[in-house]
A and B are shown apart, each in its own frame.
Chain A
Amino acid sequence: MTIAPELSDQVVSELADAVGGQHVLTSKTARYNRARVPAPFPVHRWAERVPDLVVMPASTEEVAEVMRIANAHRIPVVPRDGGTGLTDGAVPERRGIIVDVKRMNDVKAIDTDNRTCTVGAGINMLKLNEVLAPYGLLYPDDPASYPCSLVGGRIGTSGWSLIGSRYGHSRDLVLSFSFVLPTGRVIRVGDGGGPKVSKSSTGYQLKHLFMGHQGTLGIATEATLKLIPKPEAELSPFWAFPDYDSAHQCVQKLAHAGVATFAGAVLFDEWKVDYLRRDDEAYIPQPADVRALVCAVAYGNADEVRAGGKRFMRIARDAGARYLGDEISQGDWAARHDRYATPLHGRTRAGQVVPMSWHCEDSAINWTDLPQVRLEWHRIADDLRRRFDMFDDWGIFAYTSAATGVDYLTEIDIGIWEQELDDESWTAWVQAKKDIAEVAVRHGGSISACHGACRDGEVDLVPVELGGAFDVMLDVKRAVDPNNIMNPGKYLLDRAYETEVE
């Protein structure tokens, strides 16, 4: 097991030579503030997750030099981009060096002819799109953390996009990237060798391998991205249903409609509607017979969005839906580009407001299995709430991941009152996460559609989900990172080195 040695003055001085002394941060605040991400956190055990120091490199070359130093001294390295991930990828479990890439946020090139841009991994998508706007171009990678997550983190997570059913997800939108391996070697990873190629059959297809690894294989430093023309038009109707089953049927009819501008559809269950009635201005006044919601989203040329939109409206009407009106539809959708929970959604069993952190389980589930998974998940969440008055079931969403309706990002949102956490409740929580993941795997889905699956609890199920493919993961990890310096402790990858230890 790799654990950071006490970093010697020698190491600190080598790092200072590599990135400049002012970019090596050793203060307590620098370290404590890079120990966590938005996911619920065992506050009472904060000190266990604090890194030894932070470096803020400005270039691929500086990252490579940091990596060479860390590898030579066998020091754990944890990359940190936006720090907005929900699977603890950026949380250091064995101390070591945090490589914070936020200074690498420049736009290096905009190629309007081929519609690409090349950026530093530390740039945020919203800020990038402000730069692209005068060119009439858009980078359509749209997570709920759109205004704050960074391109490099999207690569490390293999992120999921709200409008991915039309424009693809991070893996489709990132054409290539510079990647620093744990040895300090720099490679360019993409479809084939050219930096702006969207489809290649040359050699092994390594792009997927080096996306979604949660920092366990290396650090992305620069990326070339596929751009789209900024859409002429947007449409986002929301509909109400008297029961979940009607809404469940309708959402798939919308996905099956074959509308080219279809960018996604969302299904909200009864628990989610109840939760929205707590504090969402759109749903507070809704009549009691509103028990489920569906929305469909379209982007593209105005004439095409209109034509497709009429088809959506017809399908929903025929499915018994009630259109909620333009104000709610447009307002709700515009708020989903930054739809992280706010803590005061939290309620005790007595209904009192308390600040709760937000856990979002994010499995990939086939449409046919959504009704059953939903019930099993709520049972787990409700059992947790019964036992500890510090958990809260915030309901379930399901979003199309692709235009065909094959699978849905299915999330149960659970509030956790971190102020009250102790070892007993934390242990129960970790078990609940494991139980939730087990349901997803048993139903033929995947533990995570968008966040990754390396947190305590669900991570135990990863070898079960992946089977023999997990053994190949171990082989790859050992081959790429011979000294296990990259984000050690994540994804059970220590197992790759167990024979060596013996």
Chain B
Amino acid sequence: MTDVPPRQSPAPEEQAGGAADTGHNGGNGHSPVTVEFLSEWRNAAYNCYSSGHKFCREVCPVMQVTRNENHTPTAFHANVVAMEQGELTVEDVAEDYVNCTQCGACELRCPNTLFTGDFYRFRTRTVDLVKRMRALAVDNGVHQPGYQRWNELTDERSHEPVLGDTPVSQEHVRDWAGGLDIPIGGETVLFVDCEAAFYRTSLPRAVAQILRRAGYEFGLMTEQWCCGGPAAEMGYRDQARRFAEHNLADWRAAGVRRVLVLDPHDYITFTEDYPEFFGDDFDIEIVLVVELLAQLIAEGRLTPTVPIERTITYHDPCRLNKRKGVWQEPRQILGAIPGLTFHDVDRVTQWSYCSGAGAGLPIERPEIARKISENRMDEAAQLEVDTLVSACPWSERPLAEAGQDRAIDVVDIHELLAESLGIDVGGRTRA
């Protein structure tokens, strides 16, 4: 989702860069909501269709596994043209759109973005298109069973069901902070995503204790809900918006001016979905923790001194590297940790890497997601490392599973930094 104001503000076509002159698209038997969608996405779809060069294909993590052209960004756009031509319906195409992690490689690698996107202020927006097509399917009553169930459970519990049969719940969302005495509210709060809050509690504990070590003041939300991003990614936009409204209201009630985000997925949600929902009214500053920590190190407010004797490589989380261009700060942090032997792989090569964990792919296509994780760890194994460091909690569970067969540990960058700062983190990664 791009950073756009709410629907009522600009003409809807400006979202996708639609036709300035309307009047195209025809009904072709589509529902009104589909007709509106086609009008909005017409030019964006043709901008891909009329190139057809497919530079997206070999960087796409799904495509690298399935090799099925239906799963290419090219097809995702061509389907819109075919719908406009009356050849395909939303029912025909909906299921294909589950085959995407919304990693953003395709749309960045597309010449229409990389070479001319900034020039025309019109770039390829495959991630937005996948989200919108999934939403269009839901709006037309076409549900993917896994997504539907996941979002129902999230709606019931106000958090994603990351523990499987073990229910998550509102009263446990701050359990990870046990014993740390973190205040509620304040000008700055730390937002902890569902995976880290319930599954990998060592991660938010590490972040909290590092910030405290640096003397950086922060609190927790009064009643944190899921950010709503996963619902937006899977097409449940109304639910996503409800969750966003809750969290924004919680921040406002507590006088929060700044939200610290440790999860790249949340960072996307807060800097792309929330601005779309709230437009000019969105006055909360969003700070990515990994950028903040790099700065605190550079300022001398944090100095890691405990040597970590590991041979590592770094996994660029898709939502940082590809979708936000954040790749230097994690390397600055790793560069400050003594003892590490770092076999780095450049950020451009990593455009074609992914953990497989994004945008609900593991929910609907676990076998493809697993293969993507294995491919990523195969790349790491070739570097003869014993550890892969990531900065994304959602990547760490599937990569750790794939790492077991290859004798590679998967470690979170915040936890690694805490260790080098001599912090005994506590918490755990649930098995």
Contact = CB atoms under 8 A, between A and B. Distances in A.
Contact present between A and B (CB < 8 A): yes
Interface of A: 25, 27-30, 32-34, 36-40, 43-44, 46-47, 56, 80, 82-84, 100, 102-103, 105, 122, 124, 126-127, 130, 134, 145, 147-148, 279, 281, 335, 338, 340-345, 353, 355-358, 416, 418-419
Given A84-B54, A419-B24, 11 more contacts: A29-B70, A29-B79, A33-B79, A36-B52, A44-B85, A102-B69, A103-B67, A279-B120, A340-B53, A343-B47, A357-B52
Interface string B100-137: 00000000010110011001101000000000000000
Given A29-B75, A38-B51, A344-B47, A279 B88 contact: no
A2 to B, nearest CB: 24
Contacts of A147: 55, 58, 109
B211 interface: no
Most chain B C-beta atoms within 10 Å of own C-beta, residue among A100, A145, A342, A358: A342
Nearest to B111: A342
A437 to B, nearest CB: 22
A56 B67 contact: yes
B47 A83 contact: no
B82 interface: yes
Contacts of A148: 53-58
A33 B116 contact: no
B8 interface: no
B69 A83 contact: yes
Nearest to B57: A148
B70 A33 contact: yes
Contacts of A338: 53, 55, 111
Interface residues of B, number: 42
A418 B70 contact: no
Contacts of A356: 50
B53 A38 contact: yes
B81 interface: yes
Contacts of B69: 30, 33-34, 80, 83, 100, 102
Contacts of A134: 382
A30 B99 CA distance: 14
Interface string B12-42: 0000000000001000000000000000001
Nearest to A133: B349
B50 A56 contact: no
A25 to B, nearest CB: 7
B272 interface: no
Interface string B350-371: 0000000000000000000000
A28 B116 CA distance: 32
A28 B81 contact: no
B116 A342 contact: yes
A27 B91 CA distance: 11
Contact of A353 (B79, B120, B349): B120
Contact of A105 (B67, B78, B82, B120): B67
Most chain A C-beta atoms within 10 Å of own C-beta, residue among B75, B82, B93: B82
Contacts of B119: 279, 281
Contacts of A416: 50
A38 B115 contact: no
B426 to A, nearest CB: 41
- Those 8 A-B pairs whose CB atoms lie nearest each other, nearest first: A38-B52, A340-B53, A357-B50, A102-B67, A33-B75, A343-B50, A148-B54, A103-B67
B316 to A, nearest CB: 16
B387 interface: no
Given A148-B53, A344-B116, A358-B51, A47 B67 contact: no
Contacts of A44: 85
A29 B116 contact: no
A122 B169 CA distance: 48
Contacts of B24: 419
A328 to B, nearest CB: 15
A419 B54 contact: no
Contacts of A84: 52-54
Interface of B: 24, 42-43, 46-47, 49-58, 67-70, 72, 74-75, 78-79, 81-82, 85, 87-88, 92-93, 96, 109, 111-112, 115-116, 119-120, 122, 349, 382
Contact of A344 (B74, B79, B122): B122
A122 B57 CA distance: 12
Contact of A342 (B43, B49, B115): B115
Nearest to A356: B50
Nearest to A345: B116
Contacts, number: 130
Given A148-B53, A355-B46, A25 B70 contact: yes
A216 B427 CA distance: 64
Contacts of B50: 40, 343, 355-358, 416, 418
A28 B87 CA distance: 9
Nearest to A416: B50
A418 to B, nearest CB: 5
Contacts of B111: 338, 340, 342
Contacts of A281: 119
Contacts of B56: 148
A55 to B, nearest CB: 12
Contact of B51 (A83, A105, A340): A340
Nearest to A103: B67
B3 to A, nearest CB: 21
B248 to A, nearest CB: 36
Nearest to A80: B69
B294 to A, nearest CB: 29
B43 A355 contact: yes
18 contacts: A25-B68, A29-B79, A29-B88, A30-B70, A32-B87, A33-B72, A47-B87, A100-B69, A122-B67, A134-B382, A147-B109, A148-B56, A279-B119, A343-B46, A343-B51, A357-B49, A357-B50, A418-B49
Contacts of B109: 147
Contact of A419 (B46, B57, B68, B88): B46
Contact of A27 (B53, B70, B382): B70
Nearest to A39: B52
A337 B96 CA distance: 30
A47 B46 CA distance: 17
B87 A355 contact: no
Contacts of A105: 67
Given A38-B53, A124-B58, A342-B111, A46 B116 contact: no
A29 B96 contact: yes
B116 A32 contact: no
B115 A82 contact: no
B120 A340 contact: no
Most chain A C-beta atoms within 10 Å of own C-beta, residue among B43, B51, B85, B88: B51
Contacts of A358: 50-51
Most chain A C-beta atoms within 10 Å of own C-beta, residue among B75, B96, B116: B116
A344 B112 contact: yes
A143 to B, nearest CB: 11
Nearest to B52: A38
B82 A355 contact: no
Contacts of A38: 51-54
B382 to A, nearest CB: 8
Contact of B53 (A34, A43, A145, A345): A145
B264 to A, nearest CB: 25
Nearest to A36: B52
B112 to A, nearest CB: 5
Given A33-B69, A103-B67, A46 B82 contact: yes
